[in-house]
């Protein structure tokens, strides 16, 4: 990895040596702003819908310019008893576990692979590459996970099968190998430090940008995951549903929600704003992503390289 | 000779090697459990799976089920849905391979030269956002536009005096919708990959081109594009290796699994899922995924070798 990779992609071209004249810059900037706005419109629409009043939706549908605003759907969700809160906590739990355990598995092996003197290095590299090319397929992993490991209807099914990825291990290894001077590690070895100590005290702090990058990718992967729930959770285990899967099963979920609320509040006449509720839940899922994204961008600039496999 | 270089020549001591192996071990166990054990399941594709309830998976697969050779494959390929499914899979993938290279490269090249650092950062952030939304969420974003009664599109149509369309029942426009969505979701992310690649080009090349009086397009043609070729090739080779795979969420969740849209939305991954979860047809599902990885692997190798023959540096391996 050359030094170039650590250059900030936004500082690479300064205004003085840009190919654009002032006028051209204004025009191109405008085009990009317009494009970004268009790309953002779907998300904006859902945010607006979540604040629209039920009357407005009945009258003019999902509109960028609602006739009335209301927080009713939000209020309804927050008072809806345990169901949605539980789903939110499930998503948080799965994400946290996926990130922490994923890094605990991937960082140490990546460090071992980054040591050129390590005897089993080539063998383990090959061992990690093979699953990238061959896999047993959906049927096989489904059968193994359900019948051998008995993961159905448990949190494990949502966490374990996606913890590691060869791709991430390679990204970590390349960084450990190229960004941390060998002399630093050799000096520590001479001082009698073991590999566990070297990794914890020297490598991990220096490699923070790449570790954070992988952590953020894991965060998004787990926060967005719904396919494992679709495969491994059945309708008798709604207490395990993460937010994403609640949204997959929205029609049934809204019924549960209504039932719970009626049970809790003891009133039957109240009809919830069902149309907006689903959009509120979508916003609840999108918001954390939008909040983390700026942090992600900081690391993205430095941690990412495509030719990771080659190094 | 100092101590360090002696160490280097004789390699690591037994204890040091053992420590490193200990560090690698947890991940190795994970790979055995979740990647290597399922590998034997390739056998599903060559068996007629007839499980006896209550017996272990291995016994059911290897003892209770009969080898049928390529029978599953011939049934699968002869089934009447298959031509349509294959066409869809290849159609969308070929379009995505082209668009997901051309558009992001184009976006990255013109974004790099913008003057304002802040603007560049903000544009990247907005454009990369869709990449980090799940297809379930995207499905709802699309629903807001296309819902029959409340959908934005139908209300706009109504405003112009046109009748409402039942979008989830009319397959006509869905090919276009799915292509736009696929590009919308991944363009920003790929753009950042190419931006990183552009950043590693030596800027003095452009300065000397300026002295020679090169125009912007000439610089793009003679400097930027050649430097992006290895990255483009890497992405191209990897996507060709996935030519029979597709984004399950895009084709299953976004159209809300609507039966009337199946003709244009069913791809091989949707088939693999449905054969497994809805029809419990293990052998067909396994045969279809085996076909995916086999064809993918062969194409990946072929493409890689062709590219290696043209330009060694641009190949993957």
Q: In A, residues 42-61, which contact B (CB 8 Å cutoff)?
A: 42-43, 45-46, 49, 57, 60-61
Nearest to A46 among B141, B231, B293 (CB): B141
Q: Where are the beta strands (DSSP E) in chain B?
A: 47-48, 66-67
Token readout for B305 is 């070798």
**Residue A48 to residues A2, A44, A280, B99, B142, Cα–Cα distance (Å):** 46, 6, 10, 31, 14
Q: Is residue A282 within 8 angstroms of chain B, CB to CB?
A: yes
Token readout for A86 is 């539980």
Residue contact A12–B198, C-beta within 8 A: yes
Nearest to A40 among B126, B199, B231 (CB): B126
| Residue located via tokens 């101590």 | B3
Task: Note whether A113 and A173 are within 8 A (CB).
Answer: yes
> pTM, whole model, 2 decimals?
0.88
Q: How far is B263 from chain A (nearest CA, A)?
A: 22
CA nearest to B44, candidates B276, B262, B285 = B285
- pLDDT over threshold 60, residue B10: no
DSSP code per residue over A138-175: HHHHHHIIIIIS--TTSHHHHHGGGS--HHHHHHHHHH
CA nearest to B271, candidates A248, A137, A133, A153 = A137
Q: Which residues contact A24 (CB under 8 A, 6 or more apart)?
A: none
Instruction: Tell me the residue length of chain B.
Output: 317
pLDDT at B90: 96
Residue contact A134–B297, C-beta within 8 A: yes
**For the structural domain made of B79-314, what CATH number should be given?**
1.10.3720.10
Residue contact B114–A301, C-beta within 8 A: no
Token readout for B135 is 């297809």
Comparing A180 with B252, the larger pLDDT belongs to B252
Q: How far is B220 from chain A (nearest CA, A)?
A: 10
State the average pLDDT over residues B224-240. 92
Q: Across all residues in chain B, what is the average pLDDT?
A: 89
pLDDT at B47: 86
- pLDDT over threshold 60, residue A303: no
DSSP code per residue over A91-155: HHHHHHHHHHHHHHHHHHHHHHHH-TT-TTHHHHHHHHHHHHH---HHHHHHHIIIIIS--TTSH
Dihedral, CA of residue B303, residue B304, residue B308 and residue B313, to nearest 10: 130
Most confident range (mean pLDDT) of A294-298, B34-38, B66-70 is: B34-38
CA nearest to A284, candidates A239, A251, A247 = A247
Task: Note whether B26 and A105 are within 8 A (CB).
Answer: yes
DSSP secondary structure letter of residue B170: -
Q: How far apart are CA A298 and CA B90, in angstroms?
A: 37
Residue contact A143–B57, C-beta within 8 A: yes
Helix (H, G, I), strand (E, B) or coil at B256: coil
State the average pLDDT over residues A119-139. 89
Range(s) for CATH 1.10.3720.10 in chain A? 82-235+286-309
Q: Is residue A197 within 8 angstroms of chain B, CB to CB?
A: no
Nearest to A134 among B234, B286, B293 (CB): B293
pLDDT above 90 covers a percentage of chain B that reads 52
Task: Note whether B285 and A138 are within 8 A (CB).
Answer: yes
pLDDT above 70 covers a percentage of chain A that reads 85
Token readout for A273 is 């704003």
- Full 3-state SS string of A257-307: HHHHHHHHHCCCCCCCCHHHHHHHHHHHHHHHHHHHHHHHHHHHHHHCCCH
The dihedral sign for the CA sequence A293, A294, A299, A302: positive
- pLDDT over threshold 60, residue A24: yes
Token readout for B28 is 């190795």
pLDDT at A220: 92
State the average pLDDT over residues A87-107. 96
Comparing A4 with B171, the larger pLDDT belongs to B171
Q: How far apart are CA B34 and CA A285, in angstroms?
A: 28
pLDDT at A2: 39
Q: How far apart are CA B312 and CA B315, in angstroms?
A: 6
Q: Sketch the domain layout of chain B as residue ranges.
A: 79-314
What's domain A82-235+286-309's architecture?
Orthogonal Bundle (1.10)
- pLDDT over threshold 90, residue B48: no
Residue to mutate among B9, B22, B38, B276, with most A CBs inside 10 A, is B38
Per-residue model confidence as pLDDT tens digits over A237-275: 888 999 999 888 876 666 666 666 655 555 444 555 666
Residue contact B144–A279, C-beta within 8 A: yes
State the average pLDDT over residues B257-262. 86
β-strand pairing of B66-67 with B47-48: antiparallel
pLDDT at A256: 63
Residue contact B192–A111, C-beta within 8 A: no
Comparing A310 with B44, the larger pLDDT belongs to B44
Q: In A, residues 102-141, which contact B (CB 8 Å cutoff)?
A: 104-106, 108-109, 111-113, 115, 117-120, 124, 127-128, 130-131, 133-141
Residue contact B42–A136, C-beta within 8 A: yes
Q: Which residue is closest to B151 within chain A, CA to CA?
A: A62
* B124 Cα distance to chain centroid: 21
Comparing A258 with A170, the larger pLDDT belongs to A170
**Residue B95 to residues B83, B103, B109, B192, B252, Cα–Cα distance (Å):** 18, 12, 21, 21, 19
Residues of A in contact with B249 (CB under 8 A): 226-227
pLDDT at B7: 47
State the average pLDDT over residues B217-234. 92
Helix (H, G, I), strand (E, B) or coil at B66: strand
Give bridge partners of residue B67 from the DSSP assignment. Answer: B47
Most confident range (mean pLDDT) of A147-161, A277-291, B160-174 is: A147-161
DSSP code per residue over A201-255: IIIHHHTHHHHHHHHHHHHHHHHT--HHHHHH--TT-GGG--HHHHHHTHHHHHH
Confidence grade of residue A279 (pLDDT, cut at 50, 70, 90)? confident
List own/partner pairs for A264-272 with CB under 8 A and 24 or more apart: A264/A81, A265/A79, A272/A73, A272/A76
Residue to mutate among B196, B286, B298, with most A CBs inside 10 A, is B196
DSSP secondary structure letter of residue A52: B
State the complex-level ipTM: 0.87
B104 CB-contact burial (10 Å; exposed 0-12 / middle 13-18 / buried 19+): buried
Q: How far is A82 from chain B (nearest CA, A)?
A: 22
Give bridge partners of residue B220 from the DSSP assignment. Answer: none
Residues of B in contact with A43 (CB under 8 A): 129, 133, 141
pLDDT at B1: 42
Q: Which residue is closest to A200 within chain B, CA to CA?
A: B23
- pLDDT over threshold 50, residue B123: yes
Task: Note whether A50 and A73 are within 8 A (CB).
Answer: yes
Task: Note whether B157 and A57 are within 8 A (CB).
Answer: no
| Residue located via tokens 């549903």 | A241
pLDDT at A1: 36
Residue contact B3–A108, C-beta within 8 A: no
pLDDT at A262: 59
Helix (H, G, I), strand (E, B) or coil at A69: strand
Most confident range (mean pLDDT) of B73-82, B91-100, B117-126, B271-280 is: B91-100
Residue contact A135–B35, C-beta within 8 A: yes
Q: How far is B17 from chain A (nearest CA, A)?
A: 6
């Amino acid at each position: 990895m050359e030094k170039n990779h650590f250059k900030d992609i936004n500082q690479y071209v300064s205004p003085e040596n840009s190919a654009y004249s002032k006028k051209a810059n204004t025009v191109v900037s405008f085009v990009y702003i317009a494009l970004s706005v268009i790309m953002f419109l779907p998300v904006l629409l859902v945010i607006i819908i979540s604040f629209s009043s039920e009357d407005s939706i009945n009258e003019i549908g999902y509109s960028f310019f609602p006739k009335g605003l209301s927080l009713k759907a939000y209020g309804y969700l927050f008072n809806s008893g345990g169901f949605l809160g539980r789903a939110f906590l499930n998503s948080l739990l799965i994400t946290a576990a996926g990130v922490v355990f994923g890094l605990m598995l991937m960082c140490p092996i990546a460090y071992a692979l980054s040591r050129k003197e390590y005897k089993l290095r080539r063998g383990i590299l090959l061992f990690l590459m093979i699953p990238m090319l061959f896999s047993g397929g959906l049927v096989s992993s489904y059968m193994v996970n359900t019948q051998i490991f008995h993961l159905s209807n448990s949190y494990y099914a949502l966490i374990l099968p996606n913890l590691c990825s060869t791709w991430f291990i390679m990204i970590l290894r390349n960084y450990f190998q190229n960004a941390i001077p060998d002399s630093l590690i050799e000096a520590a070895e001479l001082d009698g430090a073991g590999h566990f100590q070297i990794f914890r005290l020297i490598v991990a702090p220096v490699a923070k940008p790449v570790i954070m990058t992988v952590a953020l990718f894991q965060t998004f992967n787990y926060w967005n995951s719904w396919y494992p729930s679709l495969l491994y959770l059945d309708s008798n285990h709604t207490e395990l549903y993460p937010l994403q899967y609640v949204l997959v099963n929205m029609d049934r979920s809204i019924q549960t929600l209504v039932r719970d609320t009626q049970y809790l509040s003891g009133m039957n006449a109240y009809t919830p704003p069902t149309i907006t509720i689903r959009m509120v839940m979508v916003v609840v899922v999108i918001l954390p992503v939008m909040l983390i994204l700026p942090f992600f961008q900081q690391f993205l600039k430095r941690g990412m390289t495509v030719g990771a496999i080659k190094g | 000779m100092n101590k360090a270089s002696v160490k280097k020549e004789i390699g690591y001591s037994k204890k040091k090697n053992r420590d490193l192996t200990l560090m690698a071990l947890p991940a190795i166990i994970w790979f055995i459990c979740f990647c290597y054990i399922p590998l034997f399941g390739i056998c599903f594709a060559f068996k007629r799976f007839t499980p006896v309830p209550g017996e272990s998976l291995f016994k059911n697969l290897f003892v209770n089920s009969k080898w049928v050779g390529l029978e599953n494959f011939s049934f699968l390929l002869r089934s009447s849905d298959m031509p349509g499914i294959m066409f869809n899979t290849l159609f969308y993938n070929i379009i995505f391979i082209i668009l997901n290279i051309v558009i992001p490269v184009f976006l990255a090249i013109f974004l790099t030269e913008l003057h304002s650092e802040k603007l560049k950062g903000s544009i990247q952030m907005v454009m990369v956002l869709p990449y980090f939304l799940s297809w379930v969420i995207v499905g709802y974003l699309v629903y807001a536009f296309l819902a029959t009664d409340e959908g934005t599109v139908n209300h706009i149509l109504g405003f112009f005096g046109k009748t409402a369309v039942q979008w989830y029942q009319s397959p006509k426009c869905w090919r276009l919708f799915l292509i736009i969505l696929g590009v919308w979701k991944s363009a920003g992310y790929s753009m950042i990959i190419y931006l990183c690649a552009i950043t590693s080009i030596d800027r003095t090349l452009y300065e000397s081109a300026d002295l020679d009086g090169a125009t912007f397009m000439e610089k793009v043609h003679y400097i930027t594009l050649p430097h992006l070729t290895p990255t483009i090739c890497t992405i191209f080779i990897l996507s060709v290796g996935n030519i029979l795979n597709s984004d399950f969420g895009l084709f299953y969740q976004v159209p809300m699994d609507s039966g009337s849209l199946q003709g244009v939305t069913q791809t091989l991954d949707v088939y693999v899922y449905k054969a497994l979860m809805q029809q419990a047809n293990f052998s067909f599902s396994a045969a279809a995924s085996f076909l995916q990885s086999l064809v993918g692997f062969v194409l990946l190798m072929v493409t890689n070798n062709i590219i290696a023959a043209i330009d060694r540096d641009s190949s993957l391996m």
